[in-house]
Amino acid sequence: MPDTRPAPAAAATTESQIAVHWREEEYFKPSPKFVAQANLTDPAVNERFAEKNFPECFNEYAEMLTWYERWQKTLDTSDPPFWKWFVGGKINASFNCVDRHLAKYKNKAAIITVPEPEDEDPVAVTYQELFVRVNEFAALLRDFAGLKAGDRVTIHMPMLAELPITMLACARLGVIHSVVFGGFSGEACGLRAADSGSRVLVYMDGYYRSGKLIDHKASAEIAVATAEKEGQKIDKVLVWRRYPGKYASAAPMVKGRDVFVDDVLKDYCGARVDPVPMDAEAPLFLMYTSGTTGKPKGCQHRTGGYMAYVTGTSKYIQDIHPEDTYWCMADIGWITGHSYIVYGPLALAATSVIYEGVPSYPDAGRVWRIAQRLDVNIFHTSPTAIRMLRKAGPDEPKKYHYHFKHMTTVGEPIEPEVWKWYYHEVGKDEAVIVDTWWQTENGGFLCSTKPAIDPMKPGSAGPGVPGIYPIIYDEKGEEVKAGSGKAGNICIRNPWPGIFQTIWGDRDRFVRQYYAKYNKDPKSKDWRDWPYFAADGAVLASDGYFRILGRVDDVINVAGHRLGTKELESACLTVPEVAEAAVVPVVDEIKGRVPEIYIALKPGYAPTKEITDRVIATLETMIGKIARPKRVHIVPDMPKTRSGKIMRRVLAAISNTLDTGDITTLANPDIVEQIRVAVQGKEKLKTQEGPEDLKQFGTVD
């Protein structure tokens, strides 16, 4: 029976709580057709991964891989919270994603790249071709660049096949890769290269975005200079060319330092490099979190446990089979791309699609044309992208003949309104949806429904995935019970194989930031005393489903009442004309903070006072008078990061006349001044020193 009762109104809230006004949603069931073909249909999985079988339950995931030597111990807890997984095991990630599929699948596509220009055809790289290219590039890395196991390499590349080829070549040698999102600046790349101690950078000369061939190599100059300023010398910059033989950048090639990969590769034609059997605990890669403030954190992921976790969750939660054509629209420069474009899908011998460009280029039908042409059947993207697609072309999906069996949403809470559009329009009422909650630090999914077993509930991620035991604590460390209607801090009680090993070079920060808060005894060697603190607010319904409310510091304290920005935004989106909403706090003498709303409208609607009034009325009815905004601004577009996240920090700065800070990494920096003029007037007001919570708002690193 669906639980359709409204969540109980939160009683007087304390600092640790976020008031919860979400209405419970109806369940949706997977179709019998989906269930009939799914990898995981036996509910006994819950029993197999129950706490009494922990940690050995995770052997089931490790056994999906091919090992040189089997592990002796599943989990070693002797140095908490630095857990060790599959101790004594020897494995190579590149072998598992490439070589082991040759016998059965060598002529099957491993990767299909879709160039942004629509007159360039998609390119399929078979497993055999991937094998050849990974081997040859690994030979180049080893023999030309002098790299060996344990060295670090920083990779700053766009979404083309050469990026996973570079990663898999590193993994073949045991070289630790650190991929920096292609849309980041050269400076960001240089800082990360310096932090990781990389002396080799791998670049691409250029790539297409919104119809323009971007000069990407130019950013390498800045990266090298920045790294050197930080004390890290860069000896080599290896430059792939978007069109081999034709240099797409105006930046000079520095003699002795820069080389074209396609030139040097000629010397390694036919080379084969034996994969290096790595210790299960050897680091596979670093992934820097995309914080806009503070020093970037290099999340260090291990080889064995990470590979086991992404393979197991790709099989059970993404329902990937070797026959599937799987398209995750994330960028490989984020953890989602590492786990669920490259390592998970390829370990399962799937076909993984990589699209070079902008989803809405040249028009709102592009994504669906790609899905139709490649006959994609598993689709994976974020609420931001879904909102963007809905805004650009709400009726586009039905014009194209594609059929998804499975869709994923990840990265932020999805508003039920948007979920339903995804389900009905994009999924055509056929596809199952999983809302997967996790973080860069986690390696793979933490909460999600099991697609053929658990019903879906719009806006809720679901229960912990197999072997993950989440819990909600209040500020004092008391458990917040299911069905109480109260929110708190979601934590994971147990270690799991995908959890990162540490922050590169900063063990103290690792312990402080993720474990100190709820650690029961710093001397304890029992994992039960070391809950992992995720810094997200969440509420647990009586059906065991977690609803994620966003980062714990993304809240607005109105007269002592903590409002989750997400639920306000979700309410705004029920007004039919509204495509996107962002809520920020503004200083109010009486209430402390009050919300201020930014909205962008769907195409074809002009801003009117009538829409503004309806947004206010909706907030008052859905949340209460407490949520009445100071002002509602209708803007042409939101300031967004290159990965599509709305920069609430920038909007909060405009609303409060604070300094907007660094906006150079935005996808659309010009919009900031337009919004500023609309909100503050033409004349530039003198920026003020804001209170700490406003300066911190939306800047969680």
Total Cβ atoms within 10 A of residue 4: 10
Binding to ligand WT7 by CB under 6 A, coded x per residue (else -) over 301-340, reads ----------------------------------xx----
Examine residue 498 and tell whether it contacts ligand WT7 (CB under 6 A): no
Binding to ligand WT7 by CB under 6 A, coded x per residue (else -) over 242-281, reads ----------------------------------------
- Least distance to ligand WT7, CB of residue 397, Å: 21
Q: Which region, judged by CB under 6 A, interacts with ligand WT7, from 208-216, 254-262, 358-366, 406-414?
A: 406-414
Q: Six-digit token pair at 604?
A: 């074809």
Please give the span between the terminal C-alpha atoms of the chain, in angstroms, as a whole number: 40
Q: List the Cα angle 690/694/700 in 5-degree steps.
A: 135
Q: Which region, judged by CB under 6 A, interacts with ligand WT7, from 82-90, 127-135, 411-419, 668-676?
A: 411-419
- Least distance to ligand WT7, CB of residue 435, Å: 5
Look at strands 555-558 and 502-503 and give their pairing: unpaired
Contact 496, 58 (CB under 8 A): yes
Examine residue 95 and tell whether it contacts ligand WT7 (CB under 6 A): no
Nearest residue (CB) to ligand WT7, 397 versus 459:
459
Examine residue 413 and tell whether it contacts ligand WT7 (CB under 6 A): yes
Examine residue 410 and tell whether it contacts ligand WT7 (CB under 6 A): yes
Distance CA 583, CA 414 (A): 15
Examine residue 411 and tell whether it contacts ligand WT7 (CB under 6 A): yes
76, 129, 454, 536: which one binds ligand WT7 (CB under 6 A): 536
Q: Which region, judged by CB under 6 A, interacts with ligand WT7, from 201-209, 409-417, 655-663, 674-682?
A: 409-417
Nearest residue (CB) to ligand WT7, 165 versus 434:
434
Taking alpha carbons only, the member of 419, 437, 377 closest to residue 401 is 377
Q: Which region, judged by CB under 6 A, interacts with ligand WT7, from 215-223, 512-520, 545-553, 650-658?
A: 545-553
- Give how many residues touch ligand WT7 by CB under 6 A: 20
548, 558, 627, 694: which one binds ligand WT7 (CB under 6 A): 548
3-state secondary structure of 237: strand
Distance CA 58, CA 76 (A): 13
3-state secondary structure 212-224: EEEECCHHHHHHH
H/E segment holding residue 649: helix 648-655
Examine residue 550 and tell whether it contacts ligand WT7 (CB under 6 A): yes
Distance CA 436, CA 515 (A): 23
Distances in Å between the Cα of 119 and the Cα atoms of 102, 116, 480 are: 31, 9, 56
Near ligand WT7 in 423-452, by CB under 6 A: 435-440
H/E segment holding residue 472: strand 470-473
- Cis before 629? omega within 30: no
Examine residue 551 and tell whether it contacts ligand WT7 (CB under 6 A): yes
Q: Which region, judged by CB under 6 A, interacts with ligand WT7, from 86-94, 410-418, 507-515, 687-695?
A: 410-418
Beta-carbon contacts of 257 under 8 Å, excluding residues fewer than 6 positions away, are: 224, 234, 235, 236, 237
Nearest residue (CB) to ligand WT7, 285 versus 402:
285
Strand residue runs (E) in 391-501: 406-410, 432-436, 470-473, 487-492
Q: Which residues of this chain interact with ligand WT7, rule CB under 6 A?
A: 289-290, 335-336, 410-413, 435-440, 461, 534, 536, 548, 550-551
